[in-house]
Structures are given as structure tokens and as C-alpha cells.
Amino acid sequence: MTNFEKLNNKTVCSGCGRLQDSLKLCFDCQRWQQAGKFLLKNQACFTYNQAMKEYMRMYKFIGDYQLKDIFTKILQSLIKEQGMDIIVPIPVSQQTWLIRGFNQVTAMLESTSYQELLSVALVDKGHQSARQRKDRLISQQPFALSRTIDDLSGKKILLVDDVYTTGATLYHAADLFYQAGVGEVRSVTLAR
């Protein structure tokens, strides 16, 4: 069994936070740029190694909610370091709420004030890792900006998700905020 691998003070891609030899943009991030996106400058606490995959299996797929406590501290301090205006967790669908019973992201944000500005608009997105990467990159916008929100113009938004896999989820979310006129969108994830 491997251990969790921390990413702080490691050399990572400046676009998505993945562990690599240089700070240069990785291939995936270059493609996001070519697609006309503003980089998310994602930062992650850990690599998505075997230990983290096993953790996610227990926490998310089996649903052992109390495992949320393991990483609340480290995730929240990374969020704080970013100094952004509004913290926005990636939401889960209504169906997930009725089956899993929790949002794995907000569960880890107990002492952080966040705003649930996003909701899942598309019906269940299915098991993400099962789909082809290409499909995911071009898949439809899964989210909607919820309710009437105060003026977001010029605000700095920090998106929070559990795992950065392809970046598609976070870039879709970012699109909505840029359309609403925010100044900047960045992201933080537990694992990359």
C-alpha cells in the first residue's frame, strides 16, 4: 500500500497542479489554452495515486462519510492561501444526494464559508472515469448558476472539487462564471 503523496513545494504544472519535471504547462493544459480558456491555475493537495484512489473509493463510492475529516484541514488551508473572494464548491446532482447522501466537497469545508452558486443541470453524468476522455472534453455544460446572485462582476472565484481528472468539470463551471462577468476563476482540488 502506497502512502498519500503531498504536492506542496513540489514541481507541478502551473495550469493544473499535476506533478511533473517542470513548471511549464502540461499537454492537457496547452489544449485548454488552445480551446480559448483562461487557465484555472489549479492547485491540489495530493497526487491521485493508489492510496488516494482507494480513499476515494471508500469515501465517495462506498460512502463512508466520516472519512471526510481526514483532509478537511489541509484542503481548507490550501483554499485560504489562495485569497479569493468567493469559494464555490462543485455540486452533486439531486440523485447523488438521494443515493450517496452527501456532497463529498462541501463535507470537507466545515469551517470555510462558501456559496453554493452552482447546481447540476444535466441529469446524472454517470461514472466519469468510464467514459472516453475525448467525450468528456466536449461534453455538454453540466451546471447552471443557481438562483439570482448578487453582482459577480470583477469578483475572484475559487472553485473547489475533490479530484482534477481531465479538468472538464472545472472548466465548464468556470465558463459560467466568466459569462457572468467575474474577474478571475481559479480552482483547488484535493487530488490531481
The residues of the shown chain that bind another protein, judged by CB under 8 A, are 62-66, 95, 97-99, 101-103, 107
**Among residues 8 and 61, whose Cβ is nearest to another protein?**
61
In whole angstroms, how close is the CB of 143 to another protein at the nearest point?
20
In whole angstroms, how close is the CB of 111 to another protein at the nearest point?
16
Do strands 86-89 and 43-46 pair parallel, antiparallel, or not at all (unpaired)? unpaired
**Among residues 61 and 131, whose Cβ is nearest to another protein?**
61
Do strands 86-89 and 156-163 pair parallel, antiparallel, or not at all (unpaired)? parallel
In whole angstroms, how close is the CB of 62 to another protein at the nearest point?
6
Measured in residues, the chain has a length of: 192
**DSSP bridge pairs for 89:** 160
In whole angstroms, how close is the CB of 97 to another protein at the nearest point?
8
**Among residues 69 and 135, whose Cβ is nearest to another protein?**
69
What letters, b where the CB count within 10 A reaches 16 and e where it falls short, cover 31-61? ebeeeebebbbbbbbbbbeebbeebbeebbe
Helix (H, G, I), strand (E, B) or coil at 159: strand
**Among residues 67 and 145, whose Cβ is nearest to another protein?**
67
In whole angstroms, how close is the CB of 26 to another protein at the nearest point?
34
In whole angstroms, how close is the CB of 101 to another protein at the nearest point?
4
**Among residues 103 and 166, whose Cβ is nearest to another protein?**
103
d(CA 121, CA 41): 25
Distance (Å) of CA 12 to CA 27, 41, 155? 13, 11, 26
**Among residues 64 and 85, whose Cβ is nearest to another protein?**
64
d(CA 68, CA 110): 10
**Single-letter amino acid code for the residue at 141:** Q
